[in-house]
A = this chain, B = another copy of it.
């Protein structure tokens, strides 16, 4: 029953030659006679020989595998990112091993350890929401395992990272709203701890300053990303003496919750109030009343870029001067037709 897979040894025995000859023949080594070469290759075909990668990995200390660690596979953004990663990896004959942290630091650590033990050649990470301590990543450096962060990247430190260009995207969004005549623009951020919240707020203030408009921090609200959190953020904005005429929301889902809230308070979207949000759900086309525009963040592109950088790092590990690329992916403002 145990149909054993053929090995080079078996081929060697059958042909009464040595394993090293077989190995060479299979690799088209120049010093092998044409005759033996063809004999070997033919028998290999007949037997359906396939090299045992586990042996090769072991021997070469290289697995042609990259690990990807991210919070949730199911989220649109991450699904898009991993798709991009897999494409690039595949083109370069690399495999992709995945792990979801579920935004749990302990799981994140465990996954990293497992991947390290499995000798993946490199790792791509989008941090768990609560990861403060980066030790489990820094320790990888001494094992020569390069790491590239994307989207949820460390706030500081010498790392390779790929992330959305928040200043650029936000600038574009605000400019767009201003062109449309808006002067009081509200913001709904995610939790204050998120790097993106700070960045968004900072950019907002910079743009306002540049345009010589008064900065009013009561226009900046925070949501924990739940429907309720967004509702209370909206409440705080709409009950201002001078409520905003347009709102920039952290993502489409939050924007939709906000639109619902507005509607329930007799404010008609795209008439009484306007929204622009980040990430661009495929679904927005189907909405009767979508946000006015979304800022596409190109998850697939981010993933692909992260993979490219990682592969570069892997193939230059000899260089003892690892350059840490810090790539920003430009967002694009997509105006939704209605």
Given that A97-B95, A99-B90 are known contacts, is A52 also in contact with B83, CB under 8 Å in the complex?
no
Partner of A144, one of B2, B283, B288: B2
In the complex, the answer to whether A119 meets B52 with C-beta atoms within 8 Å is yes
Indicate if A86 sits at the interface (CB-CB under 8 A): yes
Take A58-B54, A79-B73, A283-B281 as given contacts and tell me if A99 and B86 are in contact as well, using a CB distance cutoff of 8 Å: yes
Q: Are A286 and B256 in contact (CB under 8 A)?
A: yes
Q: Is A156 an interface residue (CB 8 A)?
A: no
Which bracket fits the contact residues of A?
A: 35 or more
- When C-beta atoms are compared, the residue in chain B nearest to A67 turns out to be B95
Residue of B nearest to A255 (CB): B286
Q: How far is the CB of A319 from chain B (nearest CB, A)?
A: 11
A74 close to B (CB within 8 Å): yes
Per the 8 Å Cβ criterion, residues 57-87 of A in contact with B are 57-58, 61, 63, 65, 72-74, 76, 79-80, 82-83, 86-87
Closest to A139 in B: B48
> How far is B79's CA from A114's CA once the two chains are assembled, in angstroms?
23
Q: Which of A187-243 contact B (CB under 8 A)?
A: none
Pick the residue among B5, B83, B95, B144 that contacts A3 (CB under 8 A).
B144
Give A42-61 as 1s and 0s: 1 = Cβ < 8 Å from B's Cβ atoms. 00000000111111011001
Q: Which residue of B lies closest to A48 (CB)?
A: B139
Q: In the bound complex, what is the Cα–Cα distance between A74 and B38 (angstroms)?
A: 43
User: Chain B nearest CB: distance from A167 CB in Å?
Assistant: 27
A260 is an interface residue with CB less than 8 A from chain B: yes
- A262, CB-defined interface residue at 8 Å: no
| Distance from A6 Cβ to chain B, minimum over Cβ atoms (Å) | 11
Interface 0/1 of A144-166, CB less than 8 Å to B: 10000000000000000000000
CA gap between A116 and B51 in the complex, in Å:
10
Q: Which residue of B lies closest to A287 (CB)?
A: B287
Contact call B54/A118, Cβ cutoff below 8 A: yes
A118 touches B95 (CB 8 A): yes
Bound Cα distance from A281 to B1, whole angstroms = 46
**Any chain B CB within 8 A of the CB of A315?**
no
Q: Which residue of B has the minimal Cβ distance to A75?
A: B79
| C-alpha gap A97/B66 in the complex (Å) | 10
Provide the residues of chain B in CB contact with A118, threshold 8 Å: 53-54, 95
A92 at the interface (CB under 8 A from B): no
Contact A119 B73 (CB under 8 A): no
With A3-B142, A80-B74 known as contacts, the answer to whether A87 contacts B58 (CB < 8 A) is no
A35 CB to nearest B CB, Å: 27
A83-B76 Cα distance, complex, nearest whole Å: 12
Q: Give chain B residues whose Cβ lies under 8 Å from the Cβ of A53.
A: 117-119
A273 lies within 8 A of chain B by Cβ: no
Task: Give bound CA distance, A287 to B287, whole Å.
Answer: 6
- Which A positions have Cβ atoms within 8 angstroms of B? 1-3, 5, 50-55, 57-58, 61, 63, 65, 72-74, 76, 79-80, 82-83, 86-87, 90, 95-100, 113-114, 116-119, 142-144, 253, 256-257, 259-260, 281, 283, 286-289, 300, 320
Question: Besides the contacts A57-B57, A256-B283, what 8 more A-B pairs have beta carbons closer than 8 Å?
Answer: A53-B118, A54-B58, A73-B79, A82-B98, A83-B100, A87-B100, A97-B97, A283-B283
